[in-house]
């Protein structure tokens, strides 16, 4: 057993935990605009800057579009860049999210997941980041403040890996995690600094025929993200897909390495299975809901129900093989979506999970539960009813209502 690093127990809300992780991660540039429920991240980090506790350049931008533009620009020079946002802020970044991933700029961003207007709502759901699903960003969702802290540190290593070179967002549920005080074990500054290291830059061939580090540098000029028309655009997009595939292995590797330092790991880094070995009925969810869900699974297990849970820690890249293998023995699966795809056949997580199960031989029953929109609380009793429904489906041998709304007044 390898000894883990000394750590400090702190009382931190999720946002504070994120700010603290960024403080320790030797970040060169932070460009951010405050928006509820991400505000504390920006406030707290501004304090670090004002107090001289970090050497980071903090850019007070005038909008989230500018926040992402500045983060991309900083990252393109080879700097380590971080930003944070939520809801409408993330929506305003939409255009720049694609530019950032297309420029292969490994910006790390915390998203304090929040509903989108209208009607106006500041509370937690996944509508904001799910709407950016196809923007070419790695997406991870934290279960608690501790994981938010750990995932931010890991995200720099994942994003900056030369086989990945993609921006990464870490989601933490608005208010449920962002504003709730928890015990967080923080690594010492030097251990985080050693773990994230100095950003390494792969070499690329420039128009001058020089093989130089991949960054904007007047001494070795290069052009990133210029026009690529019918003859090359497609090839660049295919490269991004390959980078996503590479991220699957990198996320697992970083999860293992981080466990050696901190003693903490989150499943294999991609998915976290809870009592799935012999489970007959199982749910799949993202984020903080998994915490409540584990309690429910414990209770069901005490009652003799073979219940399990699969938490998707990483949504992009989608861990297809890991999900298939985790659900191999499960007979009925409930996929939980904290966002809606209006007019679609269920929520986004449901689309993808049921789709990947099409090619398996086990063919479990798969139902969708849309829940918690606009921060609506989801009780253990409601979550338990999901498993009870899965058991009814198994008994009946058919699914009557594949898409259900949990906790909605009908």
Partner 1 sequence: MTNQEKTWKEIAPAGVCSKSSTQYLTGDWKTYTPVRDPAKCTRCLLCTLFCPDGAIHWRPEKGDIEFDFSFCKGCGICANQCPTNAITMKLA
Nearest to 167 by CA among 222, 90, 233: 90
> In angstroms, what is the minimal distance from the CB of 249 to partner 1?
18
User: How far is Cα 147 from Cα 110, in angstroms, rounded to an integer?
Assistant: 12
**Distance from the Cα of residue 157 to its chain's centroid:** 14
For residue 205, the minimal CB distance to partner 1 (Å) is 6
Q: Does 228 bind partner 1 (CB under 8 A)?
A: yes
Q: Residues 110, 18: contact at Cβ < 8 Å? A: yes
Q: Name the segment binding partner 1 (CB under 8 A); options: 18-26, 148-156, 235-243, 279-287.
A: 235-243
The DSSP-derived string for 52-68 is TS---EEEE-SSHHHHH
Q: How far is the CB of 208 from partner 1 (least distance, A)?
A: 8
Q: Rounded to the nearest whole angstrom, what is the least distance from the CB of residue 345 to partner 1 in the complex?
A: 32
Give the 3-state DSSP-derived string for 169-199, with helices as H, strands as E and coil as C: EEEEECCCCCCCEEEEEEECHHHHHHHHCCC
Min separation Cβ 225 and partner 1, Å: 5
Check: CB of residue 406 under 8 Å from CB of residue 283: no
Query: Total residues contacting partner 1 (rule CB under 8 A)?
Result: 28
360-389 positions binding partner 1, by CB under 8 A: none
Whether the Cβ atoms of residue 328 and residue 335 lie closer than 8 Å to each other? no
Return the residue of 102, 106, 174, 347 that touches partner 1, per CB under 8 A.
102
Give Cβ neighbours of residue 225 (< 8 Å, ≥ 6 apart). Answer: 99, 102, 103
**Measured from the CB of residue 248, what is the shortest distance to partner 1 in angstroms?**
18
Q: 124 vs 136, which CB is nearer to partner 1?
A: 136
- Whose Cβ is closer to partner 1: residue 228's or residue 408's? 228
Q: Let me know: does 104 contact 166? Beta carbons within 8 Å.
A: yes
Which stretch in 101-109, 192-200, 263-271, 358-366 sits in contact with partner 1 by CB under 8 A?
Answer: 101-109
- Nearest Cα to 16, choosing from 36, 42, 53? 42
CB of 76 to partner 1, least distance (A): 8
- The piece of 37-45, 80-88, 233-241, 363-371 that touches partner 1 (CB under 8 A) is 233-241
Distance CA 158, CA 152 (A): 10
Q: How far is the CB of 90 from partner 1 (least distance, A)?
A: 22
Considering only 103, 282, 286, 353, the residue that binds partner 1 (CB under 8 A) is 103
Given CA atoms 231, 237, 241, 246 in this order, what sign does their dihedral have? Answer: positive
If the CB atoms of residues 214 and 266 are measured against partner 1, the closer one turns out to be: 214
- Give the C-alpha separation, 211 to 221, whole Å: 11
Largest CA distance in the chain: 71
Contact map string, positions 187 to 226, toward partner 1, x by CB under 8 A: -----------------xxxxx-----x-------xxxxx
Query: Interface mask (CB under 8 A) for partner 1, residues 137-176, using x and -?
Result: ----------------------------x-----------
Task: Detail the DSSP E strand segments found in 346-402.
Answer: 365-371
Cα separation, 351 vs 100, in Å, equals 26
**Minimum CB–partner distance for residue 200 and partner 1 (Å):** 14
Among 63, 77, 239, 362, contact with partner 1 (rule: CB under 8 A)? 239
From the list 19-27, 139-147, 239-247, 315-323, the region that binds partner 1 by CB under 8 A is: 239-247
- Using alpha carbons, select from 54, 68, 18 the residue that is nearest to residue 39: 18
Of the residues 55, 235, 277, 410, which one makes contact with partner 1 according to CB under 8 A: 235
Closest C-alpha among 347, 330, 407 to residue 375: 407
CA distance 12 to 19: 10
Q: How far is the CB of 94 from partner 1 (least distance, A)?
A: 19
Positions touching partner 1 (CB under 8 A) are: 102-105, 165, 204-208, 214, 222-228, 230-232, 234-236, 238-239, 242-243
């Amino acid at each position: 057993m390898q000894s883990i690093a000394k750590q400090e127990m702190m009382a931190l809300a999720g946002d504070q935990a994120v700010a603290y992780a960024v403080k320790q991660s030797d970040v060169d540039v932070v460009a951010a605009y405050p928006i509820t429920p991400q505000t504390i991240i920006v406030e707290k980090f501004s304090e670090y800057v004002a107090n001289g506790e970090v050497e980071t350049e903090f850019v007070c931008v005038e909008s989230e579009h500018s926040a992402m533009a500045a983060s991309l620009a900083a990252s393109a020079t080879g700097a380590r860049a971080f930003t944070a946002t939520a809801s409408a802020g993330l929506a305003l970044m939409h255009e720049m999210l694609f530019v950032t991933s297309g420029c292969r700029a490994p910006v790390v961003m915390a998203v304090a997941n929040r509903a989108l207007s209208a009607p106006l709502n500041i509370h937690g759901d996944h509508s904001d980041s799910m709407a950016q699903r196809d923007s070419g960003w790695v997406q991870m969702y934290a279960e608690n403040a501790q994981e938010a802290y750990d995932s931010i540190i890991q995200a720099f290593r994942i994003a900056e890996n030369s086989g990945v070179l993609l921006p990464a967002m870490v989601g933490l549920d608005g208010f449920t995690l962002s504003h709730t005080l928890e015990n967080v074990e923080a690594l010492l500054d030097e251990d985080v600094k050693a773990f994230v290291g100095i950003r390494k830059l792969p070499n690329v061939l420039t128009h001058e025929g020089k093989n130089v580090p991949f960054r904007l540098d007047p001494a070795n000029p290069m052009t990133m993200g210029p026009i690529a028309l019918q003859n090359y655009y497609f090839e660049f997009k295919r490269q991004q897909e390959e980078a996503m595939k590479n991220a699957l292995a990198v996320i697992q590797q970083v999860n293992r390495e981080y466990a050696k330092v901190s003693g903490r790991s989150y499943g294999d880094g991609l998915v976290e299975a809870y009592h799935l070995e012999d489970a007959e009925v199982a749910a799949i969810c993202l984020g903080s809901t998994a915490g409540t869900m584990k309690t429910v699974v414990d209770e069901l297990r005490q009652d003799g129900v073979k219940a399990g849970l699969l938490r998707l820690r990483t949504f992009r890249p989608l861990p297809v093989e890991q999900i298939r293998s985790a659900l191999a023995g499960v007979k009925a699966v409930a996929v939980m979506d904290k966002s809606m795809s209006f007019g679609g056949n269920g929520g986004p997580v449901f689309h993808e999970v049921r789709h990947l199960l099409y090619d398996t031989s086990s063919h479990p029953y798969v139902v969708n539960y849309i829940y918690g929109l606009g921060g609506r609380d989801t009780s253990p009793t409601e979550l338990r009813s999901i498993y009870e429904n899965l058991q009814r489906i198994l008994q009946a041998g058919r699914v009557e209502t594949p898409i259900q709304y949990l906790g909605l007044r009908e």
